[in-house]
Amino acid sequence: MYQIVIYRLPRWFLSLSWLILGWFTPGTAQAQSTVFLNEVLANNGTLTDLSGNTPDWVELYNSSTNAVSLAGLSLSNDPTNPRRWIFPEGVNIRGRDYLVIYFDNNLPASAWNTGFGLSAGGDTIYLFDRSTNRLDSVNFGLQVEDFSIGRLQVAGGVWSLIASHPRRSQRAGHLG
């Protein structure tokens, strides 16, 4: 079960939120795909996984009506190391469905965890195809705890600050 906690922040922080929103820079997809980056949380303080940890995570979305194998695709936060974490055989995403991948640097890499974390101070996440062509990417700035960035409309929508809630449609989040 996920718990969402929204904090009331002081008014001076609202002006900072506009600065944070200005740092979201979506990458340009270089290859065709029905799988997109949909949500990124790099400063998780309350949403726990099954082991009780609060890892960073990235949500993918498949815009196709058909299931897609992710085997051989990869995620990285370093464009010079596109194969940093590779989806193993047997990992699929159903049509019009979501898949959350954890970025927990405190646990070894596995079928659902990359073994590396994202920077809450700002980072970039890349999705690569089997030939290391970039399918999707997003560059983000400072993340407020428990607020992620996500596409307001899946499969290519505008990135926005949102209250974290994986596997659901996105709604803009407000800091004040």
Q: How many CB atoms lie within 10 A of CB 171?
A: 12
Report the distance separating Cα 26 and Cα 40, nearest Å: 12
| Fold designation for 25-163 | Immunoglobulin-like (2.60.40)
Which pLDDT belongs to residue 99? Answer: 96
Report the distance separating Cα 92 and Cα 77, nearest Å: 22
pLDDT in tens, 26-67: 444 444 689 999 999 999 999 888 888 999 999 999 999 999
Which pLDDT belongs to residue 35? Answer: 95
Paired strand residues for 25: 139
Which pLDDT belongs to residue 156? Answer: 66
The per-residue pLDDT string of the chain (176 residues; one tens digit each, 9 = 90 and over) reads 333 333 333 333 333 333 343 344 444 444 468 999 999 999 999 988 888 899 999 999 999 999 999 999 999 999 999 999 999 999 999 999 999 999 999 999 999 999 999 999 999 999 999 999 999 999 999 999 999 999 987 656 789 988 765 544 444 444 44
Show me where the domains of the chain are located.
25-163
pLDDT in tens, 56-71: 999 999 999 999 999 9
Q: For the whole prediction, is pTM greater than 0.95?
A: no
The tally of CA atoms less than 13 A away on the side-chain side of residue 136 is 23
SS3 163: strand
Q: Which helix (H) or strand (E) holds 91?
A: none
Which pLDDT belongs to residue 85? Answer: 98
